[in-house]
Chains A and B, each alone.
Chain A
Amino acid sequence: MLDWKMDFTWEILPRLLLAAGNTMLAAGGGYAVAVVLGLVFALAQRTRSRTLTFIVRELVEFIRSTPLLLQIFFIFYVGPQFGLRLSPWAAGLIAIGLHYAAYLSEVYRGGIENVPKGQWEAARAINLSTVTTYRRIIIPQALPPALAGMGNYLVGIFKDTPMLSVIGVAELMHTANSIGAENFRYLEPYTIVGLIFLAISLPTAWLIRRFETALRRKMGLTR
């Protein structure tokens, strides 16, 4: 029934580990896009312009309500129809970055809105300007809870990179598919891919939790 072949495992492991590097590269690149773009989305919703707030709000909702896989296809295939060719990597990073920017913008907003109203009032009472209030009072308090959310989405983006295989980004899943098709063996490549994901995401999630607790303690937010 179950015949795991060790020699085959050793044969394909280097290739998979190399592909894991690509997976991390894709996750890191996509995350960089998401962190910056998410901040733009979040700040755009805090401006006084109601129209801008409404448009960005709806855009964020739209991105969050539709499958990433579909967004990847859309960005990759629609460009050429209008004469804009994107490489799989570029399309993939844009799609995944845009998708997670929508989520991160909510994390940023939540962090800011979670700071108690009394903090704004106390800042007003000692006459701090709006900029100083954000810089010295609000953001330092918004950051620790937001960092937990940001960390979770870093792990999330990492776990969503296999979807990039569908447009030919040579990350883990794509490589495992190729190995499977070449050798007609799926047990080892898919299982190893699963184990690699576990081996990276579990410790990362744990580290993020530790980091958040340590940060909160360092800032005196908990005993």
Chain B
Amino acid sequence: MPYLDFLMTYSSRFIDGTLITLGQFGLAALVAIVAALISGLMKMAHSKTMRAIAIIYIEIFRGTSLLVQLYWFYFVLPLFGFTLEKFTVGFLTVGLCYGAYGAELVRGAIQSVPRGQWEAALALNMSPAKRMQRIILPQALVAILPPWGNLMIEILKGTALVALISVADLMFETRQVNNNTYLSAQAFGTALIIYYIFARFMVTPIMRWLERVMARKIGRT
């Protein structure tokens, strides 16, 4: 079957899968941002308990595999009485996993703000919360965006694993097409190209654009 016919025949499956992947990616990214910010800040907190909780979360998710986590959340969590939709398990797990990696980025970015900035804010008698919110975080945000761009690509790639708990994403649909047609090069090749276009021509440019906007906002161009 010529490739064009193949594409015509199965385009709807690829499109459906792509939309699900997009949804998984967007939601997982959101979960990761929230989890990274909370745990990253907690890891720098004065309270030992807060720090311990953050460290346990970070180490568990960074110390095990995303796939192990997905299976565990999908098959084992219901035994504790939590039953979640597989779609929800998918983006939640991916988000929590990469949030743990993001936590280190948050911490690094905050620490990259020069000490003089803290001192200057203190000298203006700002409250700790104000210092963080008005002075430190805006500068940290600029520092975190480049490595966060890489993390976004990792999140996108990570969402492919949700296919293994039967979320009908691009990976899942591609396998279905492959199983129906045995046209592996066409099926997997198409999916590779779609993921690549996503990463290279959507995620990366958007992150670069954000970097420029934020840098301009704090007056670094």
**Which A positions have Cβ atoms within 8 angstroms of B?**
1-2, 61-62, 64-71, 73-74, 77-78, 80-82, 159-163, 165-166, 173, 176-177, 180, 186-187, 190-191, 193-194, 197-198, 201-202, 205
Interface size class, chain B: 35 or more
Chain B contacts of A71 at CB under 8 A? 192
Interface string of B161-200 (1 = CB under 8 A from A): 1011000000100110010001111001101100110011
* Cross-chain contact A67 with B68 (CB below 8 angstroms): no
* Cross-chain contact B161 with A191 (CB below 8 angstroms): no
**A-B CB contact pairs (8 Å), 22 listed:** A1-B79, A66-B195, A67-B156, A69-B161, A70-B171, A73-B175, A74-B184, A78-B188, A81-B183, A173-B68, A176-B71, A177-B71, A187-B79, A190-B68, A190-B72, A194-B69, A197-B63, A197-B64, A198-B60, A198-B64, A201-B63, A202-B63
Whole-angstrom distance between the Cβ of A1 and the nearest chain B Cβ: 6
Since A186-B79, A201-B62 are in contact, a sample of 13 more A-B pairs with Cβ atoms closer than 8 Å, ordered by chain A residue number, is A1-B81, A68-B157, A70-B174, A71-B192, A73-B184, A74-B189, A74-B192, A77-B178, A165-B67, A173-B71, A194-B68, A198-B59, A201-B64
Q: How far is the CA of A193 from the CA of B72 in the complex (A)?
A: 10
Is B113 among interface residues, defined by CB-CB distance under 8 A? no
Q: How far is the CA of A78 from the CA of B191 in the complex (A)?
A: 13
Q: Chain A at the B interface: mostly helix, strand, loop or mixed?
A: helix
* Cross-chain contact B65 with A190 (CB below 8 angstroms): no
Whole-angstrom distance between the Cβ of B6 and the nearest chain A Cβ: 13
* Cross-chain contact B71 with A159 (CB below 8 angstroms): no
Chain B contacts of A73 at CB under 8 A? 174-175, 178, 184, 188
Chain B contacts of A191 at CB under 8 A? 72, 76
Is B75 among interface residues, defined by CB-CB distance under 8 A? yes
Which residue of chain A is the closest to B69 with respect to CB atoms?
A194
Chain B contacts of A65 at CB under 8 A? 153, 157, 195-196, 199-200
Whole-angstrom distance between the Cβ of B187 and the nearest chain A Cβ: 8
Q: How far is the CA of A194 from the CA of B153 in the complex (A)?
A: 25
Chain B contacts of A198 at CB under 8 A? 59-60, 63-64
* Cross-chain contact B67 with A70 (CB below 8 angstroms): no
Which residue of chain B is the closest to A162 with respect to CB atoms?
B67
* Cross-chain contact A190 with B199 (CB below 8 angstroms): no
Whole-angstrom distance between the Cβ of A183 and the nearest chain B Cβ: 12
Chain B contacts of A201 at CB under 8 A? 62-64
Chain A contacts of B185 at CB under 8 A? 74, 78, 81-82
Whole-angstrom distance between the Cβ of B186 and the nearest chain A Cβ: 9
Interface string of B136-160 (1 = CB under 8 A from A): 0000000000000000010011101
Q: A1-B80, A67-B157, A77-B188 are in contact. Are A194 and B64 (CB under 8 A)?
A: yes
* Cross-chain contact B199 with A197 (CB below 8 angstroms): no
Whole-angstrom distance between the Cβ of B190 and the nearest chain A Cβ: 10
Q: A66-B195, A74-B184, A160-B65 are in contact. Are A166 and B164 (CB under 8 A)?
A: yes
